[in-house]
Amino acid sequence: MLDKFNREINYLRVSITDRCNLHCSYCRPKEGISLQGHDDILRYEEIIRIVSVAVKMGLVKVRVTGGEPLVRKGFVNFIAELKKIDGLQDISLTTNGILLEEFAQNIFDAGICRINISLDSLNKDKYSRITNGGDLDAVLRGIARAEEVGFAPIKINTVAIKGFNDDEALDFARLAADKPFQVRFIELMPVGKTNLDYGEDYMPTSQLIDKIRQSYKLEQIKNKKNKSDGPAKIYKIKGGRGEIGFINPVSDHFCSTCNRLRLTSDGKLRVCLLNEKEVDLKTALRENCSDAELEKLFWDAVLLKPKQHDLICTENSLKKCRNMSAIGG
Q: What is the pLDDT of residue 315?
A: 41
Q: What is the pLDDT of residue 57?
A: 98
Which is it for the CA torsion 150, 152, 156, 157, positive or negative?
negative
Q: Contact, 79 vs 91, CB < 8 A?
A: yes
The low-confidence residues of the chain, meaning pLDDT below 50, are 313-320
Q: At what angle do helices 124-131 and 136-149 cross, to 10 degrees?
A: 100
Q: Contact, 306 vs 272, CB < 8 A?
A: yes
Q: What is the pLDDT of residue 326?
A: 65
Q: What is the pLDDT of residue 329?
A: 61
Chain center to CA of 268: 17
In angstroms, the CA 177 to CA 232 distance is 18
Please name the residues in contact with 252: beta carbons below 8 A apart, sequence gap of 6 or more: none
Q: What is the pLDDT of residue 313?
A: 43
Quote the DSSP letter at residue 117: E
The architecture that CATH gives domain 11-327 is Alpha-Beta Barrel (3.20)
* pLDDT tens digits along 188-199: 877 665 656 667
Tell how strand 260-263 and strand 11-15 pair up.
parallel
HEC assignment per residue over 241-270: CCEEEEECCCCCCCHHHCCEEEECCCCEEE
Q: What is the pLDDT of residue 116?
A: 97
167: amino acid identity, one letter:
D
Q: Domain ranges in the chain?
A: 11-327
